[in-house]
Amino acid sequence: MADIIQLLPDAIANQIAAGEVIQRPASVVKELLENAVDAGSTKIQLIIKDAGKGLIQVIDNGCGMSETDARMSFERHATSKIRSATDLFAIRTMGFRGEALASIAAVAQVEMKTRQQSKEMGVRLQIEGSKVLKQYPCQASPGTSFSVKNLFYNIPARRNFLKSNPVELKHILDEFQRVALSNPDIHFTVHRDKEELYHLIPANLRQRIVGLFGTSSNKKLIPVEEETDIVRIRGYVGKPEFAKKSRGSQFFFVNDRFIKNGYLHHAVMSAYEELISKEQYPLYIIFIDIDPSKIDINVHPTKQEINFDDQRLVYNYLKVAVRHALGQHNAMPSLDFEQESTFNLPVIKQQETPTYRPSAASGTNTGSGKSGSANFPSLNQREKSNLQNWEKLYENLRSPEEEQGVSKNEPSALTLESSWSNESGDPQEGQTTQKTQKEPYQIHRTYIINQIKSGFILIDQQAAHERILYEQYLEILQEQSGTTQQQLFTKTIELDGPDTEVLLGILEEVNLLGFDIQHFGQQTFVINGVPAELAGKKDELQVVLQLIEQYKFGLDLNLNFRENIARSMARSAAIKRGQSLDKEEMKTLIDKLFACAIPYKSPTGRNCFHTFELEELAQLFEG
């Protein structure tokens, strides 16, 4: 029998190979943009027609190609970027496999014009289904222009398989964003059918992010910057309060190459633990710079997957870097560049702003004896500095054109009319420093409304108080500084067996918090004293019983022992929904909340507040 094995003709081999690299218009966009970047361009234009199914054109002002190179560039495994297998480990360019142009030319009608900077004439090449139709010298600007028309014109099955235009366009813009983010110093424009979608001038990373995601993104960014012997981690993460319910703006770049990596994603998410709820996703744009010999990027033809020699180490560095950034954000939100000029001038700001001003004075002047404030002892040093920072964050909420990440899902709770009439008609005469402060207002004995510069803030009193107490109790447990108010009459409680075990297990810490409870033998305990701030406010027995309940049922294995106790105690001692609060209590609650290290969330992950921007309000009433 005759031999039957033959080599496939090149055109078919290329088509098969193309299937791996070119799946949809977005893949073409990615490859062409990356080639333009690799060519050292300073300006790159992307033109899309019919969601890339009609035309994808990329025009760059990079190095261009010689006539021979122009022809060679369409051969499979033709690349100028690596010469030997060892080069593979020192890759700094985006491309290196030499497959993209060959693949594109196999499945589309391609026209390329290219001219080297030093030459007077350029060359023009037309290729269709891997066949060179025409090649001739031509006039051209320095650089390269690729037009890719009618993608998959020769593979109908593939073409039919493409999704609707909006979906394909979304994929294209995703690819574009990745390239634009990792090359902020390159000037990019994007045109779709006649419309200009992006015009991004050379900028720093922050400005580039704002250019891509809109002005509102500026105030959401926290810089990350950490360097160790083996990696540098830089970029931005989103402020926790702007986390979204859907994934989306999350980017990792390793040596400026966009990658997807579930493991590293997990590292970032775990850095946000406690700051956002489980269903939320923070924004992040993180660049990991590492010695190329320590990674392997050749895992997948589209090069979005990558292996690190020491994945665990990178994971840990990343987590620490993000944690650190988030911590600094709470400690020093002044990093928000817009605000630098007003920082350190809180007094002047307070006088001139007709808005809610967390009254730093109230904590120091009123003392703890004032009625209603017993739940909220005066601010300590740490809290004061947190609070100052928040005054600045309040300032950040200023520009009404920006806000959009804020949840709008509790409109039913708003009875605006009464709250605003009250607060405009009731200035506190005689208290000069408070003249301009807007009074908070309670609605449904559950929420507190307070005007801020850019709109208003709606606070869930219970969630907020739980947060306040949680941080307070944690600090007490750490510093062992709880103060006890001895009871005139001791009380005894009888518990059942399991509860006795629970209370015995946490008794030492509970007493640190300010209780004075003794085990009286068997299942009996004697309460000699309670934390000073609870004295006379609550039924002691109830508090202790609730504490045990909370501890038993709220136990969170992600928290350590003391955090669990602080949380249980906060939940049992906090003011509840349905409890009416007077103005002083509300003001102190607000001050205390924003003096917290993490004011956004209750210790069980509920939101403590939402802000509502004037802009949003105006939109509600548009015709």
Interface residue with ligand ADP among 24, 30, 53, 97 (CB under 6 A) is 97
- Among Mg ion, ligand ADP, none, residue 39 binds (CB under 5-8 Å by kind): ligand ADP
Distance CA(79)–CA(69), nearest Å, equals: 9
Distance CA(271)–CA(594), nearest Å, equals: 21
41 near Mg ion, judged by CB under 5 A: no
Distance CA(40)–CA(310), nearest Å, equals: 31
73 near ligand ADP, judged by CB under 6 A: yes
**Per-residue tokens: 254:** 């390793």
DSSP 486-552: EEEEEEEEE--HHHHHHHHHHHHHHHHTT-EEEE-STTEEEEEEEEGGGTTTS-HHHHHHHHHHHHH
Q: Which is nearer to Mg ion, 100 or 268 (CB)?
A: 100
How far is C-alpha 154 from the chain's CA centre? 43
95 near Mg ion, judged by CB under 5 A: yes
The CB-of-177 to Mg ion minimum distance in angstroms stands at: 19
Q: Which is nearer to Mg ion, 21 or 268 (CB)?
A: 21
Q: Which is nearer to Mg ion, 188 or 515 (CB)?
A: 188
35 near Mg ion, judged by CB under 5 A: yes
Q: Which is nearer to Mg ion, 78 or 201 (CB)?
A: 78
Query: Pick from 413, 393, 418: which is nearest to 403 by CA?
Result: 393
The CB-of-257 to ligand ADP minimum distance in angstroms stands at: 12
The CB-of-16 to ligand ADP minimum distance in angstroms stands at: 16
The CB-of-83 to Mg ion minimum distance in angstroms stands at: 16
* β-bridge mates for residue 251, sequence order: 285
Q: Which is nearer to Mg ion, 103 or 572 (CB)?
A: 103
Stretch near Mg ion under the rule CB under 5 A, chosen from 90-98, 183-191, 217-225, 267-275: 90-98
The CB-of-602 to ligand ADP minimum distance in angstroms stands at: 51
Q: Which of residues 131-160 bind ligand ADP (CB under 6 A)?
A: 144
Contact 407, 610 (CB under 8 A): yes
- Which string of b and e fits 576-590 if b means at least 16 CB within 10 Å? eeeeebeebbbbbbb
Stretch near Mg ion under the rule CB under 5 A, chosen from 30-38, 46-54, 55-63, 133-141: 30-38
Which helix (H) or strand (E) segment holds residue 111: the answer is strand 109-115
The CB-of-68 to ligand ADP minimum distance in angstroms stands at: 11
Q: Which residues contact 191 (CB under 8 A, 6 or more apart)?
A: 45, 46, 47, 48, 197
44 near Mg ion, judged by CB under 5 A: no
Stretch near ligand ADP under the rule CB under 6 A, chosen from 60-68, 178-186, 395-403, 608-616: 60-68
130 near ligand ADP, judged by CB under 6 A: no
Q: Which is nearer to ligand ADP, 96 or 188 (CB)?
A: 96
Contact 101, 93 (CB under 8 A): no
27 near ligand ADP, judged by CB under 6 A: no
Distance CA(87)–CA(39), nearest Å, equals: 18
Q: Which is nearer to ligand ADP, 31 or 471 (CB)?
A: 31
Q: Which is nearer to ligand ADP, 111 or 310 (CB)?
A: 111
Distance CA(6)–CA(12), nearest Å, equals: 12
- Among Mg ion, ligand ADP, none, residue 158 binds (CB under 5-8 Å by kind): none
Burial of 295 (0-12, 13-18, 19+ CB in 10 A): buried
98 near ligand ADP, judged by CB under 6 A: yes
100 near Mg ion, judged by CB under 5 A: yes
**Per-residue tokens: 349:** 């700001």
Interface residue with ligand ADP among 49, 71, 81, 491 (CB under 6 A) is 81
39 near ligand ADP, judged by CB under 6 A: yes
**What are the strands, taking DSSP E only, across 221-342?**
221-227, 231-238, 250-254, 257-259, 284-290, 295-296, 307-308
Angle at 180 between CA 100 and CA 15, to 5 degrees: 15
Contact 100, 75 (CB under 8 A): no
Position of minimal CB gap to ligand ADP: 95
- Among ligand ADP, Mg ion, none, residue 73 binds (CB under 5-8 Å by kind): ligand ADP
The CB-of-98 to Mg ion minimum distance in angstroms stands at: 7
Interface residue with ligand ADP among 18, 28, 29, 36 (CB under 6 A) is 36
Query: Pick from 203, 198, 148: which is nearest to 174 by CA?
Result: 198
103 near Mg ion, judged by CB under 5 A: no
- Among ligand ADP, Mg ion, none, residue 81 binds (CB under 5-8 Å by kind): ligand ADP
Interface residue with ligand ADP among 80, 150, 328, 546 (CB under 6 A) is 80
Contact 560, 568 (CB under 8 A): no
Distances, alpha carbon 546 to alpha carbons 58, 465, 550, 580, in Å:
66, 16, 6, 21
21 near ligand ADP, judged by CB under 6 A: no
User: Where on the chain is the footprint of Mg ion (CB under 5 A)?
Assistant: 35, 95, 100
User: Where on the chain is the footprint of ligand ADP (CB under 6 A)?
Assistant: 31, 35-36, 39, 60, 62-65, 73, 78-81, 95-102, 144
